[in-house]
Structure 1
Amino acid sequence: MTTHAGENSDALRPEDPRELGPYRLLSRLGRGGMGTVFLGQDPGGRRVAVKVINRELAGETAFRDRFRREVNAARQVRRFCTAPVIDAELDADPLYVVTEYIEGPSLERAVAERGPLPGSDLEGLAVGVATALAAIHGAGIVHRDLKPANVLLSATGPRVIDFGIARALDAADGPTRTGQLVGTPNYLPPELLRGEPVTPASDVFSWGCVVAYAGTARAPFAGNTVPEIFYKVAHEPPKLDGLDPSLSELVGAALDKDPRKRPSVQELLARLVGHTDPNPALIAETVQASWHVPGAPPVPPPPPAAPAPPVATGPARTPAGEP
């Protein structure tokens, strides 16, 4: 389920709730396999994204248990380069989770409308998403559904959303649940297709796919049908033609079919920023300070300071009453 924050929203429908807990709902932001995302407002006037779970899912005890575990884990994720979880209803109906509202287009939309990200923007995107993964993995969870639609380009840098929640849809028989694919075919790691455990290395693979898309405007494993895409993910090398040479080798390493051969997120950051022991919190601050929203007009330089008034240079005057 993706939050399309900053993109076109739709008016509430007659069947939609107007309030959930302390949150007033303002409009619809999107809908996915897990539920509907609304733009909401808290009592203090802050805007939030409220993700309401479909009732047919919420009625399943196993799903509710998984959802509770995943949301509680997601609440431990540090805030840098992510859309943090603010609140959640995990017991009463309807189930929902509240996250920070991120103003800005998704990477998917930005690239579709404006084409590949240029050099420094692409590097900032690669660093920002890797930093978000460091925060997510630091909380002991795996994103599992990292894709361009789940990366929002905010004024303070790329922000990753919906981390960990896809796990609640998992079934014991692999990457589908009641016939529904859990994840997006072009960005799924091959080990998931093989029925192997999903680990942080799986997110590294998806990171490589996202950066390749951002830099070329196409997925590295593209096809006309889901079986064709799956075959390419599992057996063929990625198509990275046109990707910035400074990133091509690292992205290729992240897309290794064997998760044991992929770099870790810390290794991604070390190679991206040129530091052997990168600090994700400090990197997040640097990304925020240097980020320029792709496609936005450059910030004009400040106007020159007014010249200082001239300083009198005549002979010093003696105050009255003094010799």
Structure 2
Amino acid sequence: MKQGFSSVRAAARLSVAPMMDWTDRHCRTLHRLLSRETLLYTEMVTAPALVRGGAVHLLDHSPEEHPVALQLGGSDPDELARAARIGADAGYVEINLNCGCPSDRVQSGTFGAVLMTDPGRVADCVAAMRSAVDVEVTVKCRIGVDDQNPEEVLPEFLSRVGAAGCGRFTIHARKAWLQGLSPKENRDIPPLDYDLVQRMRGMFGGLHLSINGGITSLDQAEAFLDAGLDGVMIGRSAYHDPTAILAQADRRIYGTGQDADPVDVARQMLPYIEAHLTQGGKLGQVTRHMLGLFTGRPGARQWRRVLSEGAHKPGAGPELVEEALEPVLAAA
């Protein structure tokens, strides 16, 4: 195992899923303040955008976000290898290949979930990426697509791609329907098959397997870890209710540190916000990720209202966050 793999695998006990339009660097900064240990992911970045488009700004991140992994989309081994090298040179601790996204745009590029139908190509991509970088190359996949039989498809996929050198997989425990369902519907409608993923844990003892899909609490995450899975990835719940998922994660999942206080975290974001505004950024680009910080707590509705209504007004700055905190503190 190459140097550094073990520490990233330890972080992968809990991870926040890569989510388009959500897990940008502002979101990751907030999540890192809530949990020092959890593995974070970028939004998916396509290999052509980096290699042909020169869009290296998509890789912008700060050292404070680490451990953070880059997710790539693509299906050409040489292009993915070049993109992986760019990502590793930018400082990412892991390069992840997307084999799970069902959107039409991704399908038209012959990557994402459609790659579940071509494990040989995925194996070639993984081999090429591994030869190009010293950080770990991983895969996020579905249990199958369309009319495939997951009981047959998933073991073959893990076997062939694992043989190419991928030692860590995150499995979204749903099929993806490439025809007939929207990307949003593909996150909810296909039934979850957690048992299948857990059986893979027994069949592939040498692989690090994380489970993803429909997981909404740390209690669920702990149950999967206790059942023998190596990691748990949480998506929408970690975004919409980040305090519930991340504030206790270091203590409960990793046995380190203390629980984060969301009020403290909101205030710790103020210097970051100030710096972002100084660089020409807009307040709403950061605060949109903070709306769920007090979900389910007294004052949460007023917190969201103040930020939502005020962040886009001319001259809005860090003082708006302090104003939004007032009803939360008053209700405490």
- Same fold by TM-score, threshold 0.5 exceeded? no
Greater per-residue helix proportion: 2
TM-score (norm 2): 0.26
Q: Which TM-score applies when normalising by structure 1? A: 0.27
Structure with higher Rg: it is 1
